Amino acid sequence: MTDNIRPLWQLLILAKDDKQSVSINCDECLLLIEYDADLLAAGDADDDVMSIINQHIMICSTCRNKLDDWIEQGSWKKTPYPYFNNQTRSEKENGNE
């Protein structure tokens, strides 16, 4: 996680550009997760941001585990987070797929 972190505004512009693939590092993923959580808490969502986060957590177990832990500790149990088909890591580990 020592890569340079692009500012949020730059990541959001990249998310809206459907002509190029966007690759993010772990720090940028966590930044986008925080931004997306704020949107979800306000009752909104940004599919472009969700897509970039999802692409990263599919290849990065560290970020996926951090997101799982955050969901399990927070209020997301009441509102399922869309990246995991409404299941937490513990549900998947217990065979409740």
- Position 27, amino acid: D
- 40 vs 55 pLDDT, higher one: 55
Residue 25 has pLDDT above 90, yes or no: yes
Asked if residue 77 belongs to a domain, the reply is yes
Asked if residue 28 belongs to a domain, the reply is yes
What 3-state DSSP class applies to 94? coil
Kindly calculate the radius of gyration of the chain based on its CA atoms and give it in whole angstroms: 14
Provide the domain limits for residue 45. 23-93
Average pLDDT of every residue of the chain:
79
Asked if residue 32 belongs to a domain, the reply is yes
28 close to 61: Cβ distance less than 8 angstroms = no
Q: Domain tally for the chain?
A: 1
* For residues 65-87, average pLDDT: 63
Asked if residue 14 belongs to a domain, the reply is no
pLDDT number for residue 95: 55
Asked if residue 36 belongs to a domain, the reply is yes
Distances (CA, A) of 48 to 24, 77, 85: 13, 23, 17
Specify the pTM. Answer: 0.71
Asked if residue 49 belongs to a domain, the reply is yes
What proportion of the chain, given as a percentage, has pLDDT over 70?
Answer: 72
Say how far residue 90 (Cα) sits from the centre of its chain.
18
Asked if residue 63 belongs to a domain, the reply is yes
49 close to 36: Cβ distance less than 8 angstroms = yes
Asked if residue 9 belongs to a domain, the reply is no
